[in-house]
A and B are shown apart, each in its own frame.
Chain A
Amino acid sequence: MSEFLLAAAGFVLLTVAVGLVRILRGPANVDRMMAAQLFGTGGVAAVLLLGAATGAAAAIDVALTLALLAAFASFAFVKAAPGGDGAPATDRDR
């Protein structure tokens, strides 16, 4: 079972890596904003599978943290990208 889970983790990582290539190359910023989505799902799946394969019970906490912080990061991306709502820390507003 742990070999199978390791192999599955490897596949998921491969899809994340290939997706990253596409996203980072993507000509528009909207493509790059999707990066946080990619980790939120692919990264969390890889962490869960790796944790289950090695028997590390605390890997689920890492997955929880990653899910929450990836959510936060994706909203930050949308806010900060040009054409987005504007980052909370740009411009001076009286």
Chain B
Amino acid sequence: MNDILAWTSIVAVTAGVFFFVAGTVGLLRFPDAVTRLHALTKADNLGLGLVALGLMAQARSATVMLELLVVWGLVLVSGATAAQLIARGQRRGDTQP
């Protein structure tokens, strides 16, 4: 059982880090502010979710698992809201060069 949990953690955390790297690559390479926002918000949030999942497998109590879930949920809500706000501001026309 412990081995399965350890392997789940390793796989999930590695996948999470991969998505973080993908998000940063998108941040560096995408041509437009809005597309960069896509990369940042979606890939990074998914990466965080996978990392949280991997750490949940290592958690010693149900409380810790719940806290990890709450952290991810909070970041999701705030990330989604902030991305929408930034994108709308961008669409309204940011007059800065």
Please determine if A and B sit in direct contact within the complex, based on CB atoms under 8 angstroms apart: yes
Q: Mark A24-47, 1 if CB is under 8 A from B, else 0.
A: 001111110110111011101100
Decide: B78 and A74 in contact? CB cutoff 8 A. Answer: yes
Q: Of B24, B27, B28, B51, which one neighbours A49 at CB under 8 angstroms? A: B51
- Chain A residues with CB under 8 A of B10: 1, 4
The DSSP consensus for interface residues of chain B is helix
**Distance in Å from the Cβ of A24 to the closest Cβ of chain B?**
12
Complex Cα distance, B52 from A83, in Å, reads 35
* Contacts A8-B13, A34-B36 given; does A15 touch B20 at CB 8 Å: yes
**B residues engaging A (CB < 8 A)?**
6, 9-10, 13-14, 16-17, 20-21, 23-24, 27-28, 33, 36-37, 40-41, 44-45, 47-48, 51-52, 55, 58, 64, 67-68, 70-71, 74-75, 77-79, 81-83, 85-86, 89-90, 92-97
Given contacts A41-B48, A48-B71, A78-B89, could you give 17 more A-B pairs where the C-beta distance is less than 8 Å? A1-B10, A11-B17, A15-B17, A19-B23, A19-B28, A23-B27, A34-B86, A38-B44, A45-B51, A48-B51, A48-B52, A57-B64, A68-B74, A71-B75, A75-B82, A78-B82, A84-B89
For the complex of A and B, 4 pairs with smallest distance between CB atoms: A71-B78, A41-B44, A74-B82, A83-B94
**A residues engaging B (CB < 8 A)?**
1, 4-5, 8, 11-12, 15-16, 18-19, 22-23, 26-31, 33-34, 36-38, 40-42, 44-45, 48-49, 52, 57, 60, 63-64, 67-68, 70-71, 74-75, 78, 81-85
